[in-house]
Amino acid sequence: MDQLAKDTNRSRDSLRLLLATGALCVVWLIILPWWAHRPAMDEQLRFLKERGIDPSAMFYTELEAMEPILQRLESRRKD
């Protein structure tokens, strides 16, 4: 492979990496914060924060198990 082809491939790979990094930054820094301030998500985050639950530490497999836990916490709070 000649030097020009290697340079072209390297430039193309660098551009792809830059685009992928840019897309990730847009999602992480713009879309996710915007979504967190939507009314439904904001309410859910406030609900968890009031109960001392860190939503960033939850896994999707734990979501079904959370309902009984939250009900127990709520009943203890009322007592």
Mean predicted confidence (pLDDT) in 11-22:
95
**Looking at residue 30, what is its pLDDT?**
96
**Sorting pLDDT into bands at 50, 70 and 90, what band is 60?**
low
Half-sphere exposure of 70 (CA within 13 A, CB side): 13
Instruction: Identify the pLDDT of residue 61.
Output: 57
Query: Looking at the whole model, is its pTM more than 0.85?
Result: no
Average of pLDDT values for 50-63?
74
18 contact partners, CB below 8 Å, separation of at least 6: none
